[in-house]
Structure 1
Amino acid sequence: MERLIQANGQPHYGIFSSAPGEVNYRDFDFRSPMGRRLGALAKWRRFHQFQYFGLISDELIGGCALANLSLLGVGFVYLFHPASGRMIEHQFRMPLGLGTDFSQQPNAGVCELRSGRNLLRLENDAATREKRLLVELADGTRIEASFSEAQPAFQPMCVCTPTAVNGWVYAQKVAGVRCTGQVRSTLGDFDLAQLGAFAHHDWSAGYMRPETHWNWACLSGAVGEVRVGLNLSCGVNETSFSENCYWLDGELLPVSGVHFQFDRDQPLQPWSIRSSDGQVELRFVGEGLHRERLNLGVLASNFKQVFGRFEGILRPPGREAVRIEQLWGFVEDQYVKW
């Protein structure tokens, strides 16, 4: 489809075989919970968008995110070196999003944040189906990373769900793709292809619940010769349709609802993640943590992203089970008010 919002002002809902050309949120017929039509200011204030690019290998873990929260532009980037336990992390907050730019085309355009001599840039190329990350920081850190959904073929999860009484969320997820590029930092210089690195990617936007919470799990790696990716969540994107899935060599396999069991006060302790249909049974143990807290009254966030290792089993219907042994990945515990 060319546009997510239809001529009647309502989104297309469902799981799609490909991304919409544009998330044209300004055409949404946005109403109050009592049915009053809301104008351009309310559409701007309540629309939120974020994009995330993650890197996974045995020798280097990384993540970069950009978020447009209308009143605030947010960005973070981190690198974690498992062998030494050392970590680099930077956070940026831009009032009213000044210094940021966000494309509403999931497969095309640029989302970026500039703060002084620091640049976080995520670029998506529709022609090549490439996703590219560029980070240039004042301390000399530089990350160039990219992957393609075309070679070999990969089917992303593209889903739009209703949210609360008057909203919707479009989410596009990728995991289990090989990644190339270069990283230069005080942790060392790394060639991502030589590391056998994998990537995952999230592009999400819409009218999310004003106050919400979610858990999320993602892994990317290889089991023997099979490329494996996983994307599971609880708390968002599961009204009528679900983003829950995993990939085997780029083939998307949907999963039912999942339950996360963990100690919120000790997020590095083991997590248990299971799906109600029996396809997913995983244990996660954290080795590092990126944490952010923000409380500005109208905006608040309590965010923990944990990186560590998964073990367990995936049971694709009608196929041999896939055993997960010490694969790197991420889990998240997020509260947000926006």
Structure 2
Amino acid sequence: MTVAALQLKTLPHVPRRVVASGEPLHGRYAGRIDEIDWSGLQGSHSRSNLWKRFHHKRWQYVGIGSQELFIGVAIVDLGWSVTAFAYVFDRLRKRVIADWAQDGLPGLSGGVSDQPVQGAEARFRGPGASLSLVHEQGDIMALRVSTPAMSLQVEMALGQSAPFLLAVGPIEGGVAHATQKSSALPVRGWVEVDEQRWDLGQAVACLDSSNGLLARDTSWRWACAHSQRVGFNLQQGYFGGQENVLWLDGELIPLAAAHFDFNENEPLSPWRVCTEDGLLDLMFTPEGARQDDRDIFIAASYYIQPVGTFHGTVRRCADSAPMRVENLLGVTEDHRSRW
């Protein structure tokens, strides 16, 4: 690989804040930001407090994968509501064995802080359920879930990962969005479903901490998969290609626009995901999926998240030899929300 190619793939270091001189600092950065704070927006980017109350969305998502299971947990602060879900997918039986979701009132039921990682705190509490994702001493992110469907206690070591991605960009119909994402994180802990407990010491986790002033109608396709050597995050939809990146041997590499080729009527048939720069070209074979389709008049959501494996090729740059990817555990997603 040439020096010039390496320079083209080097992301700038994360800024101290996401707003400067009243403008969002659009771009992709390597590293962790302390806080995502939109209060400094001015001019055409400013909105009333009432608008922000209904359009400011924050969420924390954790995906945990092992040879036996895939676990997804999210706490979502919609401004006017707080919602959470947690599920466990059994890869051997190829089905969801625990699936829980609940809505609550902002403040009363919990919320998500503006700190995506350092000092992060996301909590949800409702009838029979308690979820928390908290940054603790020793650079540990602790996830605790207690619901009628499942219990989970996990610690994720943040300091042992490749560089985090911070992406900041414009939103059509909204103002701006920022997301902080990790590659593979070492895991310590367990999950329990129906009195059966699985040790997660061989699993890896990824974090998705997002915070934006979004449009009322938002949709996206998403793909994410991670191992200690290779991982990626792809999105097509409301955020453009801002968060498209590849992690390869600890290196964070920006990717071009992503394309998702799949049958919307048969989402458990194979998917193809690729990027316009040719650095990533993968096939995805679903093993099963979690899905939800809700319409409560003032809000609606269609969501399907297949779990499965990716195979194909990735490259550091256009001139480098392709690296073969086989049986890389991850998810895809087709999501449409009115929120």
Same fold (TM over 0.5): yes
Residue 279 of structure 2 corresponds to 279
Residue 266 of structure 1 corresponds to 266
Q: Residue deviations 1:98-120, cap 9 Å, x none?
A: 31122111122310100123111
Q: Are the equivalent residues in 2 in contact too, given 1:176–1:250 (CA < 8 A)? A: no
How many angstroms apart in 1 are the aligned matches of 2:26 and 2:145?
A: 34
How many angstroms apart in 2 are the aligned matches of 1:40 and 1:254?
A: 35
Aligned Cα root-mean-square deviation (Å): 2.1
Per-residue deviation, 1:287: 1.2
Per-residue deviation, 1:319: 4.1
Residue 237 of structure 2 corresponds to 235
Residue type matched to 2:192 in 1?
R
- Answering whether residue 291 of structure 2 is matched by residue 291 of structure 1, we say yes
Alignment counterpart, residue 17 of structure 1, candidates 30, 43, 53: 30
Per-residue deviation, 1:38: 3.5
**Partner-residue secondary structure (3-state), 1:324:** strand
Per-residue deviation, 1:264: 0.8
Per-residue deviation, 1:234: 0.6
Residue 121 of structure 2 corresponds to 110
Between the two proteins, the alignment pairs up a number of residues equal to: 322
- Answering whether residue 92 of structure 2 is matched by residue 83 of structure 1, we say yes
Gaps of 5+ in 2: 1-14
Q: 1:28 to 1:182 in 2, by over 3 A?
A: same
How many angstroms apart in 2 are the aligned matches of 1:163 and 1:242?
A: 11
Residue type matched to 1:110 in 2?
E
Residue type matched to 1:232 in 2?
L
- Answering whether residue 7 of structure 2 is matched by residue 3 of structure 1, we say no
**Partner-residue secondary structure (3-state), 1:201:** strand
Per-residue deviation, 1:49: 0.8
Q: Are the equivalent residues in 1 in contact too, given 2:191–2:200 (CA < 8 A)? A: yes
Alignment counterpart, residue 78 of structure 2, candidates 56, 69, 83: 69
Alignment counterpart, residue 176 of structure 2, candidates 162, 168, 190: 168
Residue 338 of structure 2 corresponds to 337
TM, length-normalised to structure 1: 0.88
Q: Are the equivalent residues in 2 in contact too, given 1:30–1:166 (CA < 8 A)? A: no
How many angstroms apart in 1 are the aligned matches of 2:239 and 2:32?
A: 16
How many angstroms apart in 2 are the aligned matches of 1:20 and 1:51?
A: 15
Per-residue deviation, 1:96: 4.4
Per-residue deviation, 1:47: 0.4
Q: Are the equivalent residues in 2 in contact too, given 1:231–1:243 (CA < 8 A)? A: yes
- Answering whether residue 152 of structure 2 is matched by residue 143 of structure 1, we say yes
How many angstroms apart in 1 are the aligned matches of 2:43 and 2:208?
A: 25
How many angstroms apart in 2 are the aligned matches of 1:294 and 1:30?
A: 36
How many angstroms apart in 2 are the aligned matches of 1:297 and 1:31?
A: 31
Q: Residue deviations 1:251-298, cap 9 Å, x none?
A: 211111111010111111000111111111111111111111222333
How many angstroms apart in 1 are the aligned matches of 2:91 and 2:47?
A: 49
**Partner-residue secondary structure (3-state), 2:182:** strand
Tell me the percent identity. Answer: 28
Q: Residue deviations 1:221-265, cap 9 Å, x none?
A: 25xxxx211111111323xx6211111233211111111010111
How many angstroms apart in 1 are the aligned matches of 2:91 and 2:309?
A: 11
Per-residue deviation, 1:13: 2.0
**Partner-residue secondary structure (3-state), 1:83:** coil
**Partner-residue secondary structure (3-state), 2:53:** helix
TM, length-normalised to structure 2: 0.88
Q: Are the equivalent residues in 1 in contact too, given 2:173–2:214 (CA < 8 A)? A: no
Alignment counterpart, residue 58 of structure 2, candidates 25, 49, 62: 49
- What aligned pairs does 1:239-258 form with structure 2 within 5 A after superposition? 242-258=242-258
Q: 1:155 to 1:95 in 2, by over 3 A?
A: same
Q: Residue deviations 1:160-196, cap 9 Å, x none?
A: 0011255000011112333221112227211111xx2
Q: Are the equivalent residues in 1 in contact too, given 2:62–2:206 (CA < 8 A)? A: yes
**Partner-residue secondary structure (3-state), 1:43:** helix
Q: Answer with 60-69 or 229-238: which moved more.
A: 229-238
Q: Are the equivalent residues in 2 in contact too, given 1:62–1:79 (CA < 8 A)? A: yes
Residue type matched to 2:322 in 1?
A
Q: 1:305 to 1:166 in 2, by over 3 A?
A: closer
**Partner-residue secondary structure (3-state), 1:121:** strand
Q: Answer with 107-116 or 88-97: which moved more.
A: 88-97
Q: 1:105 to 1:200 in 2, by over 3 A?
A: same
How many angstroms apart in 2 are the aligned matches of 1:228 and 1:122?
A: 25
Gaps of 5+ in 1: none
Q: Answer with 9-18 or 38-47: which moved more.
A: 9-18
Q: Residue deviations 1:75-125, cap 9 Å, x none?
A: 100011111234110011114463112211112231010012311111134
How many angstroms apart in 1 are the aligned matches of 2:265 and 2:309?
A: 19
Alignment counterpart, residue 200 of structure 1, candidates 206, 220, 227: 206
